[in-house]
Amino acid sequence: MRLPRTLAIAALLAAGPTLFAGTVGGKYEPSILRVRVTRQGHDFIRPWQKVPPKQASGKGVVIGPDRILVPGNLLANATLVEVERIGDGTRCEAVVECADYVANLGLIRAKEDAFAKQLKPVGIRTKGKRGDRVTAVQFEPNGTPSISEGRIKTAEVTTPAGASGRFLVYRVSIDLKLGHTGIVPFFRRGKLIGLMVSYDKSGRTATLIPSPVIEHFLADLEDGKYDGFPEAGFGSAAIRDPQLRRYLGMANGDPGVYISQVIPGSAAAKAGMAKGDVLVKLDSYTVNRHGQYDDPEYGPMAISHLIKTRRQVGAPLQCTVRRGEETLELTATLKHLATDEYPVPPYVIGRPPRFVIVGGFVFQELSRQLLGIWGKDWRTKAPRHLTRIDREQWERRQPGERVVILSRVLPTPENIGFENLSFRIVKTVNGKAVNSVRELAEVVEKAGPTQYHTVLFENSSLPELTIKAATLELANRFVSERYRIPHLSQLD
Amino acid sequence: MCTHLLPRGAITALTVLLLGSPLRAADSKALGHALRSVVRIQATTMEPDLRAPWNVGRVQRSTGSGFVIDGNLIMTNAHVVSNARFLGLQRPDSPRITPATVKYIAHDCDLAVLQVEDKDFFKGLEPLAFGTVPQLHSTVATVGFPVGGQRMSVTRGVVSRIEFRPYTHSGLDAHLTIQTDAAINPGNSGGPVVQNGKVVGVAFQTLRASTAQNAAYMIPTPVIQRFLADIKDGRYDGYPELAIGTFRLTNKSARERLGLPMDNYGMLVTDVFPQGSSDGLLKRDDVLLKIDGHPILSDGQIKLEGEMVQMIEVVERKFVGNTVTFTVRRGDQDVTVKVPLKGAWFYRSRARQYDTLPRYLVYAGLVFQPLSLDFMRAYQPKQPPILDAYEFHTNERGYLERPEIVVLSNRLADPVNTHMDRFKMTIVEEVNGRKVGSLRELDNALAQPAERYVFTLKGEGVPLVLEADKVAAAQARIAKQYGIEKDKNIGTAPNEE
């Protein structure tokens, strides 16, 4: 006797999870999580407050019992991070272990053991090469996995999406069934080979942060202190013009690139490298005229790959340079410049902007984050004197010296007459050069019996600011109350 | 139905008949004899192209207006006759085109005076007299030859505003203007604006219709009279400049610190430009209290002839060689400072150039040109070092070391310069260790005999190297290939004028 249809379906549904387990999400499901982030950045126009919170989401890959790999930028200014199972939607709060905003890599871990135990870590494939077949794992909104197959086309050095620096990437030729769905993990033989950060649909090419870079990131963490990707601190340029080559005393086939810039205080500077040197060798590798070395895995590669991804901070780098008639052997100890060591920090994430308000005059430290006030076209839209000091920061400042600006004036009865000044670079306060907001605050506080504090700007066409010391406290109180500002300074 | 085609002869006769009849207008008191004194100016000009500075430039034609003034001369705008190769005048009552030439031209206030060889041209034409600055809301009439027809046109409007505004012809200067809602259109330029039979302005520019309607401008008589006085000695010397930066001294604490009373007077000097009129005479932190006896308000205004104007108006009315006297608070004393006036050459690179050939140097197919407003307009460069130099060179006193910024603007491809594309739009700093601060200095550096020329360029970290023998071989080849007859026009730098 045939079962009535409804009964048959009911029986099927009753079989429930057991029957469908392994199908919702597929075999990768326990290794890939949705990551939901609530982030709240700081307001660089009103540095005493935060901007409204926003939601962001992405994917993470489970690479260890306590480690979930995510894109670093996802964690910027995060106040709450949650991970979620794609299969059944269970959520769990996560803790941020590390975020690298330059390489765009981050590590988080699930807070609850019960949740973490259900996850299945994947290994990381160390070597990918041209021609290798790889698998992209995506998920439809309902959790159904979508698998696409492709091949690694090339390995090259470029700036991947979300990163701010040149890194090794894999270019994969692939037709993603679901198109660009954000970060997509790629696997080869069950192991992670890269995280896709951008996809060119018409060119059918995916760009991945590859496993060597991910492994460098993880290896760096091993000693408990994350140092970052090393830099040598020199800029180089190819020497192709035969007239230039002859001038530098180089024969036709000679190797080497021209050192066009050496950043003060950098590893290269400390090793004694100078602008005008011709760099011919790095460690045992010859540097060809295009700025490449012969990488044992990838063949001719930009030298930045050798420095960044094949070495860790603290490692020595042998640099052979030709200077005039001489050949010099220099040893650079690789380092990673902390953002605070830049005169104009490349980003300010995870901490409030530094500022101090003196009698309604708002002083801040210049950073690219602040320049971001002018939108993504800030390089052309922001005031020229600010973009110039960003571009020429190493010529105009020493390492450790930051740029203090008067960003705006909150009018008070005492400062009226100066209220139209904005975004001006400060040269001295009370006759002293100031290289940080803290220094400025200290100069004002420690001024002996003085009638007036004075601020001079770099622009010689601007007047000197005059701030009457006797009424400063009154003015500060006016600002706090009238403008409802919770705190008048953030010095660190 | 049949269509009639008028024979050509008939048309000519008809036209002559119309032109021959006297022009009449209502309200002759307002216009006076303006209708008999305004002429049409036909200009054939050659505009150089800075992107190919060795070329002669393209020929264009334009129309403007002018009017007869005392001395058998025609007054018009500088922009009507700039870069002209041929000027033709036409009286309102005659079809004949009579050649004219520029006698005096002032690019910094957009005025020019033309002379005519044929003295019979002026028979029956009356010179117009000049009036004073008209009152707000009084009626004025514009006479000229604007678009929209062939015959003389008269439009009427009121005086809407009297204000200091930029004169777009030079792109740099600003002087007094009078705004009117009388319709002024292309072709009206150079024509008179009359009130009670006298000229109260020369029509010269308008706001774009997309920005505002019924807003047209005339050059008022103070500016015109100053121009006429300047040319009396046979040479136009131009406007002098104080060459200082100032700031409104309204802040309480700042005034207190400078020992100034809490009244509304006194303007702060923040900047004194070297090689300018005030160099060595005024100082930063001086407080200007009076100019030629007129007390200066903290926002820079003075009372002049019953009107509140900016203090700069005093300088506006003076000539190169005149003196302006300041009463200055310096420290705790009041001092008198006499400033002899002259121009500021270091501002002029930001003014458009006319009636000159572009300055350039071509070497090994590399084109070198001085940075200027015309350069920026022609190339619209985006490279930050160029934009920085243009913005900061004068204010940061770069001109003391380098009167001019020399830009490697283009590369005319040739085997000698194959790898040099990277150097396009960079600034020449040095050649063979010698500083390059002008086109002439570059020319001199390249004239020094040497095996090779090593250029240091701002905007590119690698030096540019040219071997002398390679260049010698390439010069003739490049000149032929690119049709360059003259490989350089060094001309005169702004500081050499």
Measuring CA to CA, how many Å separate B366 from each of B169, B381, B413, B423? 31, 17, 8, 9
Say if the Cβ atoms of A261 and B461 lie within 8 Å: yes
Instruction: Specify if A470 maps to a domain.
Output: yes
Q: What is the DSSP string of A204-226?
A: TEEEEEEHHHHHHHHHHHTTS--
State the Cα–Cα distance between residues B123 and B206, nearest whole angstrom: 33
Q: Judge if A104 and A144 occupy the same domain.
A: no
Q: Judge if A208 and A239 occupy the same domain.
A: no
How many CB atoms lie under 10 A from the CB of residue B417?
A: 23
Instruction: Specify if A4 maps to a domain.
Output: no
Q: Judge if A439 and A402 occupy the same domain.
A: yes
Instruction: Specify if A377 maps to a domain.
Output: yes
B418–chain A Cβ distance below 8 A for any pair: yes
CATH of the domain at A213: 2.40.10.10
Beta carbons of A86 and A29 less than 8 angstroms apart: yes
Does the pLDDT value for residue A4 go beyond 80? no
Q: Judge if A156 and A212 occupy the same domain.
A: yes
- List the pLDDT tens digit at each of the 497 positions of chain B: 333 343 333 333 333 444 444 556 666 777 778 788 999 999 999 999 999 999 988 999 999 999 999 999 999 999 999 999 999 999 988 889 999 999 999 999 999 999 999 989 999 888 999 999 999 999 999 999 988 778 888 889 999 998 889 999 999 999 999 999 988 888 899 999 999 999 999 999 987 777 777 789 999 999 999 999 999 999 999 999 999 999 999 999 999 999 899 889 999 999 999 999 999 999 999 999 999 999 999 999 999 888 888 899 999 999 999 999 999 999 989 999 999 999 999 998 899 999 999 999 999 999 999 999 999 999 999 999 999 999 999 999 999 999 999 999 999 999 999 999 999 999 999 999 999 999 999 999 999 999 999 999 998 889 999 999 999 999 999 999 999 999 999 999 888 87
Strand partners, A320: A281, A329
- Predicted confidence at residue B185, as pLDDT, reads 85
Q: Judge if A146 and A187 occupy the same domain.
A: yes
pTM above 0.95, yes or no: no
Choose among A64, A57, A85, A21: nearest CA to A192: A64
Which of helix, strand or coil describes residue B366?
strand
Say if the Cβ atoms of B465 and A237 lie within 8 Å: no
Instruction: Specify if A21 maps to a domain.
Output: yes
Between A and B, how many residue pairs show a Cβ–Cβ distance under 8 A?
92
Residues of B in contact with A391 (CB under 8 A): 384
Interface of B with A in 389-408 (CB under 8 A): 391-392, 395-396
Q: Judge if A107 and A183 occupy the same domain.
A: no
Say if the Cβ atoms of B387 and A414 lie within 8 Å: no
Residue of A nearest to B271 (CA): A461
Residues of A in contact with B418 (CB under 8 A): 241
State the Cα–Cα distance between residues B496 and B221, nearest whole angstrom: 32
How does pLDDT run across A168-208, given as a tens digit for each residue?
A: 999 999 999 998 888 999 999 999 999 999 999 999 999 99
Q: Judge if A355 and A463 occupy the same domain.
A: yes
Q: How far is B391 from chain A (nearest CA, A)?
A: 8
Instruction: Specify if A123 maps to a domain.
Output: no
**Which among A90, A117, A144 is the end of a domain?**
A117
Band (pLDDT 50/70/90 cuts) for residue A19 is: very low
Beta carbons of A276 and A322 less than 8 angstroms apart: no
Say if the Cβ atoms of B388 and A388 lie within 8 Å: yes
Instruction: Specify if A11 maps to a domain.
Output: no
Q: Judge if A469 and A353 occupy the same domain.
A: yes
A234, A239, A244, A289: best to mutate for the B interface, most B CBs within 10 A: A244
State the Cα–Cα distance between residues A130 and A153, nearest whole angstrom: 5
**Which among A298, A318, A333 is the end of a domain?**
A333
Q: What is the DSSP string of B135-159?
A: PTT-EEEEEE--SS-SS-EEEEEEE
Q: How far is B462 from chain A (nearest CA, A)?
A: 6
Q: Considering B37, B65, B79, B393, which one is annotated as catalytic?
A: B79
Q: Is B79 among the residues known to form the active site?
A: yes
How many CB atoms lie under 10 A from the CB of residue A229?
A: 24
Band (pLDDT 50/70/90 cuts) for residue A16 is: very low
Instruction: Specify if A124 maps to a domain.
Output: no
CATH of the domain at A53: 2.40.10.120
Q: Judge if A162 and A292 occupy the same domain.
A: no
Measuring CA to CA, how many Å separate B168 from each of A252, B193, B206? 55, 19, 10
Burial A387-399 (b: 16+ CB within 10 A, else e): bbbbeebbebbee
Residue of A nearest to B387 (CA): A384
Residue of B nearest to A453 (CA): B253
State the Cα–Cα distance between residues B57 and A245, nearest whole angstrom: 40
Q: Judge if A481 and A353 occupy the same domain.
A: yes
Which of A123-127, A327-331, A385-389, B357-361 shows the lowest mean pLDDT across its residues?
A: A123-127
Which of helix, strand or coil describes residue B14?
helix
Residue of B nearest to A469 (CA): B253
Q: Considering B65, B153, B170, B189, which one is annotated as catalytic?
A: B189
B247–chain A Cβ distance below 8 A for any pair: yes
Domain count, chain A: 4
In sign, the C-alpha dihedral spanning A265, A270, A273, A279 is negative
Which structural domain, as residue segments, surrounds residue A431?
340-490
Instruction: Specify if A195 maps to a domain.
Output: yes
CATH of the domain at A257: 2.30.42.10
Q: Judge if A467 and A370 occupy the same domain.
A: yes
> Which spans in A227-266 are helix H?
242-247
- Predicted confidence at residue B115, as pLDDT, reads 97
Does the pLDDT value for residue A18 go beyond 50? no
- Predicted confidence at residue B357, as pLDDT, reads 93
Apex CA B283: angle with CA B280 and CA B289, to 5°?
120
How does pLDDT run across A337-370, given as a tens digit for each residue?
A: 999 899 999 999 989 999 999 999 999 999 999 9
**Which among A333, A359, A394 is the end of a domain?**
A333
Q: Judge if A111 and A183 occupy the same domain.
A: no
In sign, the C-alpha dihedral spanning A376, A379, A380, A384 is positive
Beta carbons of A360 and A411 less than 8 angstroms apart: yes
Per-residue DSSP letter, B417: G
Which of helix, strand or coil describes residue B208?
coil
Q: Is B189 among the residues known to form the active site?
A: yes
| Tokens coding A138 | 């995506």
Which of helix, strand or coil describes residue A257?
strand
- Predicted confidence at residue B24, as pLDDT, reads 64
CATH of the domain at A440: 3.20.190.20
Cross-chain CB nearest to B252 (options A388, A391, A414): A414
State the Cα–Cα distance between residues B345 and B373, nearest whole angstrom: 14
